[in-house]
Structure 1
Amino acid sequence: MFLRFFINRLIWLVITLWVVFTVSFFLMRAVPGGPLDRERRLDPQIEKNLAARYHLDEPAWRQYLRELGNVVRGDLGYSYRMADFTVNEVIAQGLPISAALGIAALGFAVTLGVAAGVVSAVARNTVWDRALMLAATVGLAVPNFTLAGLLIILLVFLIPVFPAAGWGRGAHLVLPAISLGLPYAASIARLVRTGLLDVLNQDFVRTARAKGVPPMVVIFKHAMPMALPPVISYLGPATAGIITGSPVVEKIFAIPGVGMHFVEAAIQRDYTLAMGLVLLFTLLLYCANMLVDLGYSVLDPRVELE
Structure 2
Amino acid sequence: MVGYLAQRLGMMALTLFGIITLTFFLMHAVPGGPFVSERMMAPEISAAINAKYGLDLPIWQQYLNYLGSIARFDLGPSFKYPGVSVNEMIASGLPVTLQVGLLSVICVVALGLPLGIVAALNRNRWPDTTVMFIATLGVAIPSYVIATVSLYVFALKLGWVPTFGLDDWRGYFLPVFALSGFWISFVARLTRSSLLETLQQDYMTTARAKGLRRGQILIKHGLRNSLLPVVTVIGPVIANLVTGSFVIEQIFALPGIGRQFVLSITNRDYTAIMGITIFYAAILMVMILIVDLLYVWLDPRIKLTRVAA
| Interval containing the TM-score (normalised by the shorter chain) | over 0.9
Q: What are the Cα deviations for residues 111-161 of structure 1, in whole angstroms up to 9, with x where unaligned?
A: 111111111111111232222212212211211111001111221123222
Specify the alignment match of 1:176 in structure 2: 175
1:210 deviation in Å? 4.1
Number of the residue aligned with 1:291: 290
- Which deviates further from its counterpart, 74-83 or 154-163? 154-163
Q: Deviations over 1:30-55 (max 9, x none)?
A: 12122011133323322221111111
Give the Cα separation in 2 of the matches to 1:136 and 1:39.
48
Aligned ranges 1:259-274 → 2 under 5 Å:
259-274=258-273
Deviations 1:228-263 (A, max 9, x none): 000000011111111101011001111111111111
Task: Name the counterpart of 1:19.
Answer: 18
Q: Does 1:40 align with 2:39?
A: yes
Quick check: 1:245–1:258 contact (8 Å CA) kept in 2?
Answer: yes
**By how many angstroms is 1:214 displaced?**
3.8
Which residue does the alignment assign to 1:69? 68
Shift of 1:167: 2.1
Partner of 1:152: 151
> Please, what is the CA RMSD of the aligned residues?
1.5
Letter in 2 for 1:147: I
Q: Hey, what's the Cα distance between the residues in 2 that align with 1:78 and 1:133?
A: 48
Mapped pair 1:196 → 2:184: no
Whole-Å Cα distance in 2 between the matches of residues 160 and 102 of structure 1? 24
SS at match of 2:11: helix
Q: Distance in 2 between matches of 1:244 and 1:177?
A: 13
Distance in 2 (CA, whole Å) between partners of 1:154 and 1:115 is 28
**CA distance in structure 2 between the aligned counterparts of 1:18 and 1:157, rounded to whole angstroms:** 46
TM-superposed deviation, 1:61: 1.1
Amino acid at match of 1:187: F
- Show the counterpart of 1:112: 111
Q: TM-score, normalised by structure 1?
A: 0.95
2:30 corresponds to: 31
Gaps of 5+ in 2: none
Counterparts of 1:303 and 1:184, CA distance in 2: 27
Sequence identity percentage: 39
Aligned-partner residue type, residue 53 of structure 2: Y
Count of residue pairs the alignment pairs up = 305
Q: TM-score, normalized by length of structure 2?
A: 0.94
- Offset at residue 13 of structure 1 (A): 1.7
Structure 1 gaps of 5+ residues are none
1:219 paired residue number: 218
DSSP-derived class of the 1:228 partner: helix
C-alpha offsets along residues 169-216 of structure 1, whole Å, 9 cap, x if unaligned?
432221101100111111101110011101111233234334454433
Query: Contact between 1:33 and 1:269, CA under 8 Å: does it hold in 2?
Result: no
Amino acid at match of 2:165: G
C-alpha contact (below 8 Å) 2:98/2:242 kept by paired residues: yes
- Counterpart of 1:58? 57
Please state whether the residue corresponding to 1:37 is helix, strand or coil: coil
